[in-house]
């Protein structure tokens, strides 16, 4: 049986960061286990290539939710990155820290040491943001740029938002999130900059790092209440490996609780019903699932060329030439062009809704298939959803996907915020600055007027925007799955370092917060190893 100091399960965002940080002093032997293979595709480095990867089973686990009444019995896709780099290979590259109040809320709820004053330094450590600014990092491993492409329609949307009273905000990561402007994305010189680029490639030459790809974790190994390693399946064989110090789960909010339950850690009744022996009762494993739920409003555009037309025929050939000649043009675009962080009620202390504006419209949003006629889309998401769902195994077979029940829109605050956010979106588009570009509203359409009609549109058409968190919630209370140093409560030698530990949703895209958790987690693991 192979023996290491640390075993990292999952080579995604957090796993890549841990692999770098735990090996850089040269003292510890580290094994990184990843179910996916080495990510090799021309589409990974091309930012617009996300649309080619998002439905590809080689790079995406392609999870799906269970049908739920709140979303009219629809099955909703939940993409999760597969392969070294995880979701940073296939996501829209948008970087958002969240609001300082998010992390202060974590601390107030019992996660002491995780307030914004405690975690800000890790964001600074991550960032390589050339424009700089107060509290921003300029020398970290993750290159970060503001979207460089500008289009008449996107500029007009910003102008319309300002006519509506929304402030201009050039740096929503500076501590004040409110306003509109162009997104910041994890790119470098027109190419995607993933966790592999920033963290894993610099670490791979180190002799104390071993990377095992194509290795699907099937269960953890225990001696009493101490985790001593794990078993992974590769080439039809189950292979056991041992950790002298810690086994660290970095499999994300879906697969981390799945592996815990497969290993006998979870709700006893649930495990026994599946014939799994109970090693340690921890009933909240897989509970507290939270995700961002978004609607996409679309308009037919006039008097402008949009991404719909630019991505076809001679225009596409021109854009390909621009990209390979100068790393410019539409191939540098991800899922968001213009941001909006807005308050649906003026008295609110901070924004509660996020906008994603793109000068494109989709014939099929889930599959990212563009319309042929010119169009634009405004994605609308509530920033801090309160609807709680779950993820649980349905079989003792590690290769059977778990059941995902998000319970979207079950909380009244979520319904109110999302509907009001959509109503304000329509109001912005109706401002004078946008009128020369807007032909008519495609969806939900001008016939949707009442609160119930807006809500029904959301139930019928809303999708996750791929930010699941919370299923191994960190806290200081008795029901928390992980403690404040990310150790699984009641067990030794086992930690969780990924989005599943987040006690509440952050205000915006979650990859920045996951990176922060991994940087802070790595520091704590090394501190404890020296103790």
CATH for 161: 3.30.410.40
* Catalytic residue selected from 143, 188, 280, 467: 467
Token couple for 510: 């979650």
Per-residue pLDDT tens digits for 200-256: 999 999 999 999 999 999 999 999 999 999 999 999 999 999 999 999 999 999 999
Closest CA to 300 of 221, 228, 400, 372: 372
- In terms of residue numbers, what domain contains 434? 148-182+293-382+409-461
Helix segments in 241-334, DSSP class H: 252-262, 268-273, 307-310, 313-326
Phi, psi dihedrals of residue 320, rounded to the nearest 5°: -65, -40
Which residue ranges of the chain lie beneath pLDDT 50?
A: none
Give the CA distances from residue 486 to residues 245, 438, 453, 475, 477, in Å, rounded to whole numbers and listed in that order.
14, 50, 43, 9, 13
pLDDT value of position 107 = 98
Give the CA distances from residue 143 to residues 16, 171, 326, 511, in Å, rounded to whole numbers and listed in that order.
15, 16, 18, 14
In-domain check, residue 310: yes
Phi, psi dihedrals of residue 314, rounded to the nearest 5°: -65, -30
The structural domain count of the chain equals 1
Is 216 in the active site?
no
Rg of the chain taking only CA atoms, in angstroms: 22
Separation between Cα atoms, residue 80 and residue 258, nearest integer Å: 14
Coil, helix or strand at residue 64? strand
| Class of residue 118 by CB neighbours under 10 A (exposed 0-12, middle 13-18, buried 19+) | middle
Half-sphere exposure of 11 (CA within 13 A, CB side): 31
In-domain check, residue 341: yes
CB 458 within 8 A of CB 422: yes
pLDDT value of position 503 = 98
In-domain check, residue 27: no
What own/partner pairs with CB < 8 Å and gap ≥ 24 does 219-225 have? 219/259, 219/262, 219/263, 219/398, 220/247, 220/259, 220/260, 220/263, 220/265, 220/494, 222/263, 222/264, 222/279, 222/491, 225/279, 225/280, 225/490, 225/491, 225/492
CB 459 within 8 A of CB 71: yes
In-domain check, residue 439: yes
In-domain check, residue 449: yes
In-domain check, residue 160: yes
pLDDT value of position 364 = 64
In-domain check, residue 416: yes
pLDDT value of position 2 = 79
What is the rounded (10 degree) CA torsion for 329, 334, 336, 338? Answer: -30
DSSP 411: S
Token couple for 328: 């410019």
Give every CB contact of residue 100 below 8 A, 6+ residues apart in sequence: 116, 120, 175
Separation between Cα atoms, residue 7 and residue 26, nearest integer Å: 15
Strand bridging mode 353-358 / 338-342: antiparallel
In-domain check, residue 508: no
Q: What is the DSSP string of 150-181?
A: --HHHHHHHHHHHHTTPPB-S-TTSS---EEE
DSSP 65: B
pLDDT value of position 365 = 61
pLDDT value of position 362 = 78
Token couple for 370: 């563009």
| Class of residue 452 by CB neighbours under 10 A (exposed 0-12, middle 13-18, buried 19+) | exposed
Exposure letters 464-501 (e unless 16+ CB within 10 A, then b): bbbbbbbbbbbbeeeebbbbbebbbbebebbbbbbbbb
Q: What is the DSSP string of 89-150?
A: GTS--B-----HHHHHHHHHTT-TT-SHHHHHHHHHHHEEETT--TT--BSSSEEEEE----
Token couple for 155: 């500029």
pLDDT value of position 183 = 98
> Three-state secondary structure along 308-369?
HHHCCHHHHHHHHHHHHHHCCCHHHCCCCCEEEEECCCCCCCCCCEEEEEECCCEEECCCCE
CB 232 within 8 A of CB 241: yes
Separation between Cα atoms, residue 177 and residue 253, nearest integer Å: 26
Q: What is the DSSP string of 437-472?
A: TEEEEEES-TT--SHHHHHHHHHHH-EE-S--B-TT
Token couple for 380: 């609308």
Give every CB contact of residue 478 below 8 A, 6+ residues apart in sequence: none
pTM: 0.96
Closest CA to 63 of 350, 302, 394: 394
Per-residue pLDDT tens digits for 83-120: 999 999 999 999 999 999 999 999 999 999 999 999 99
């Amino acid at each position: 049986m192979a023996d290491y100091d640390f075993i990292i399960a999952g080579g995604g965002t957090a796993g890549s960061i841990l692999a770098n940080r735990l090996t850089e002093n040269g003292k510890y032997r580290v094994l990184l286990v990843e179910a996916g293979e080495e990510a090799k595709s021309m589409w990974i480095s091309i930012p617009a290539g996300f649309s080619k990867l998002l439905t590809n089973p080689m790079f995406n686990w392609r999870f799906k939710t269970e049908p739920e009444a709140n979303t009219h019995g629809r099955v909703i896709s939940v993409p999760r990155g597969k392969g070294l780099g995880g979701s940073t290979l296939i996501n829209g590259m948008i970087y958002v820290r969240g609001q300082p109040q998010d992390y202060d809320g974590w601390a107030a709820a019992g996660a002491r040491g995780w307030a914004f004053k405690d975690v800000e330094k890790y964001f600074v450590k991550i960032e390589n943001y050339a424009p700089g600014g107060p509290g921003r990092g300029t020398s970290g491993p993750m290159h970060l740029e503001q979207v460089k492409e500008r289009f008449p329609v996107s500029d007009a949307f910003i102008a319309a938002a300002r006519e509506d009273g929304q402030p201009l905000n050039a740096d929503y990561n500076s501590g004040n999130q409110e306003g509109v402007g162009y997104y910041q994305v994890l790119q470098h010189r027109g190419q995607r900059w993933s966790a592999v680029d920033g963290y894993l490639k610099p670490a791979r030459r180190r002799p104390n790092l071993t990377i095992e790809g194509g290795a699907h974790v099937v269960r953890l190994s225990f001696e009493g209440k101490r985790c001593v390693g794990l078993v992974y399946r590769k080439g039809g064989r189950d292979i056991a490996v041992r950790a002298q110090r810690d086994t660290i789960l970095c499999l994300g909010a879906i697969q981390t609780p799945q592996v815990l339950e497969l290993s006998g850690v979870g709700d006893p009744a649930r495990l026994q019903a599946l014939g799994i022996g109970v090693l340690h009762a921890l009933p909240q494993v897989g509970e507290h699932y939270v995700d961002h739920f978004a609607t996409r409003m679309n308009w037919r555009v006039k008097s402008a060329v949009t991404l719909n037309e630019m991505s076809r025929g001679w225009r596409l050939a021109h854009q390909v030439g621009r990209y390979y000649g100068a790393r410019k043009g539409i191939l540098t675009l991800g899922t968001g062009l213009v941001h909006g962080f807005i308050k649906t009620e003026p008295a609110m202390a901070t924004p509660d809704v996020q906008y994603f504006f793109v000068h494109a419209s989709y014939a099929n949003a889930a599959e990212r298939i563009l319309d042929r006629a010119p169009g634009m889309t405004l994605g609308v998401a509530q920033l801090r959803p309160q609807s709680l769902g779950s993820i649980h195994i349905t079989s003792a077979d590690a290769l059977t996907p778990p059941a995902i029940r998000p319970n979207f829109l079950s909380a009244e605050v979520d319904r109110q915020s999302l509907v009001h956010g959509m109503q304000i979106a329509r109001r912005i588009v109706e401002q004078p600055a946008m009128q020369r570009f807007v032909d008519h509203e495609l969806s939900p359409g001008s016939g949707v007027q009442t609160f119930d009609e807006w809500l029904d549109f959301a139930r019928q058409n809303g999708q996750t925007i791929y930010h699941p968190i919370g299923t191994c919630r960190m806290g200081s209370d008795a029901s928390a799955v992980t403690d404040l140093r990310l150790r699984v409560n009641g067990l030794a030698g086992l930690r969780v370092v990924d989005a599943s530990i987040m006690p509440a949703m952050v205000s915006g895209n979650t990859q920045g917060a996951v990176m922060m958790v991994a940087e802070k987690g790595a520091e704590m693991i090394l501190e404890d190893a020296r103790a």
